[in-house]
A and B are shown apart, each in its own frame.
Chain A
Amino acid sequence: MSWLGGRTLVALDATGLTGAALARGLRRGEAAAPLRVPLPAGALVPDPVESSLKRPADVKSGLAELLDRLGRPPKATLVLPMGLARFELLEPPPQTDAREFARFRLGPTLPFASAEAIIEVVPAGGARVLAAAVRREVVAAYEDLAASCGLGLERIDLMPLTAVTARRAALPASALDVILGDVAFTVCVHEQGELRVFHQRWRDPGVADLERIARAVDLAARGQGGAVSPRVLVLGEGSAEVAAGLVARGRSAQAGSEMAFLGAAA
């Protein structure tokens, strides 16, 4: 069982659950193909204020099935869906605790009390950090879900932080990424080792969705004065379709692998 020597990732989103077992040690980086269990529509709806688990029994059933297929790992890293958190690219002053600075900056913008927020930061190159704030009770619902399935939690990560961190680990000089979630997407511009742009937008189900993503990509690329490679890397569920849609609209795009989407969580 691969999880004995590695880690298990479980990513949740509105349309389904994705699980992957990643090896460690000499076999580090090896991974079986991610397993996916679809969820009934409306069972999980990412919401930054209220619990996303609208039908907890359906989600619990899906998670139990995924864990069975993964070989019942005792612990896993849970990757929460995009759309739960508020993000901001920050450059904390020197000698300042980045997380406290993020609380100071993000606190007033949250739709709930700052004291209820769990705030984390990840390095974004240079003095920059990408800060994320998520409501404690929203996370607690997922913790309860994991506990109800007998799953211990090694860590809880959050999309798209997972993907952004993974991309930064093997960063090209310049890159424009689109990270897809079921209800939201993120456009990131990396340049000279720094995350320069981070925009998160709600998705618009239907034909307008691709237009919306294409406009966001154009806007981010223009903001960088054309210094960024025009080739767009699309990550996440449905990345192939979105990349094809962008190509069809005259942009250069390609789909990334599922593990690139999940890789940082390992």
Chain B
Amino acid sequence: MTAPPDFRTGHRATASSPLAARLVLGAAALALLLGLGGAVRATLARDDARAQVESARRAVVPMRAELRDREYRSRRDATWRHQAELTASSAPPRVIADLAALLPGDARVERLDLRYGDQLELDFHVETRSPAAYDRFLAALVASGRVEKVVPGPEVREGEAATSVKAVYRPGGRP
């Protein structure tokens, strides 16, 4: 039985058939549900991701501290090992012997300081009978290859020459 025609403006909200309207409404409801489901899933995934990030951050903190500690200990151990090696390879008698070998006959070392760190720094006071002897000593010192970064101090050249010299000792350098 066909329903009689009805032209009321509010009778059919749209021009579509009741079936089409139901289908559209159903599709809209389905889309809404899917959208809501997607939103809920996205929210849950976001919260999960945030929790994972926070967990990872918390896990990283002690690891970072451990890393810092290990790096510190490694640097400290390396320094100690280097100093130990430097002390072994550049023992004071060896250094004194090397310097003595370079001194001209008319020169003498009055004082010698050895500072063992990352490298062995020498600070010594030398006196020569003549400025020429001092110059020969410096030339021999540089040419020896045993030291580098030679920094001569202020000189007194009145007959005898007296000055301080700073340099870095190179263990195993050119003899």
Binding site for B on A (CB under 8 A): 80, 97, 99-100, 103, 114-115, 117-123, 132, 134, 136, 139-140, 143, 153, 155-158, 161, 165, 264-265
Contacts and interface: CB of A to CB of B under 8 A. Distances in A.
23 contacts: A97-B19, A100-B15, A103-B15, A115-B15, A118-B9, A118-B11, A118-B12, A122-B5, A123-B2, A132-B7, A139-B7, A139-B9, A143-B8, A143-B9, A155-B4, A156-B6, A156-B8, A156-B11, A157-B4, A157-B5, A161-B5, A264-B4, A265-B4
Nearest to A140: B9
Contact of B17 (A100, A118, A140, A155): A100
Given A97-B20, A100-B20, A117 B5 contact: no
A136 B9 contact: yes
B16 interface: yes
Interface string B1-34: 0101111110110011101100000000000000
Given A122-B2, A123-B2, A158 B7 contact: yes
In the complex, the 4 A-B pairs of residues with the closest C-beta atoms, listed nearest first:
A120-B5, A156-B7, A97-B17, A155-B6
Contact of B8 (A97, A132, A139): A139
Nearest to A123: B2
Nearest to A130: B5
B58 to A, nearest CB: 60
A157 B15 contact: no
Nearest to B10: A143
Contacts of B12: 118
Interface residues of B, number: 14
Nearest to B15: A103
Contacts of B4: 122, 155, 157, 165, 264-265
B20 A117 contact: no
A149 B44 CA distance: 58
A118 B9 CA distance: 7
B118 to A, nearest CB: 88
Contacts of B5: 120-122, 132, 157-158, 161
B7 A80 contact: yes
A133 to B, nearest CB: 10
A132 B7 CA distance: 10
A55 to B, nearest CB: 22
Given A80-B7, A100-B20, A132-B7, 20 more contacts: A97-B17, A117-B15, A118-B11, A119-B15, A120-B5, A120-B6, A122-B4, A134-B7, A139-B7, A143-B8, A153-B8, A155-B4, A155-B6, A155-B8, A156-B6, A156-B8, A157-B6, A158-B7, A165-B4, A264-B4
